[in-house]
Structure 1
Amino acid sequence: MSSLFYRRSRCAIIEISIFEGRSVGFKRLLIKLLFQCMEQEVGIALQDVEIVIFETQKYNHGVWDDVVMG
């Protein structure tokens, strides 16, 4: 089996929801730092980590300040 698709029992899938507008560079740095943290601090091998970033428009969220302060 290819190591690309092999996951051991200790794996992590990280899903991040952010508002649109972040640069590609910011998102790449975030992913890089999360991979480093998962390996160094948590002890999960890089091939056992999957990170997905979902972007959405601000008008698709009800944030308390926006609702109250308008």
Structure 2
Amino acid sequence: MYLIKYFYRLRDHCKNMEEGLTKASNIVAHVTVLRSQMNNAVIPVKKLGRRTRRKDGPLQILI
């Protein structure tokens, strides 16, 4: 929800629509990269919590 509000504010502060869309797409790309890095990270289980295996994906750490 916060990210959506941020995109609207970003759009309102930009000089034109193209600049706003470029900034928004750069942010989305950055968040996507961060998510993929988080999913591939090796996280010690003892510090964060219990493990569970999703049916359709890799081993997940539940906090």
Which TM-score band applies after superposition, normalised by the shorter structure? 0.3 to 0.5
Query: Rg: which structure is higher?
Result: 2
TM-score (norm 2): 0.38
TM-score (norm 1): 0.35
**Structure with more contact order per residue of length (Cα contacts < 8 Å, sep ≥ 6):** 1
Higher helix share: 2
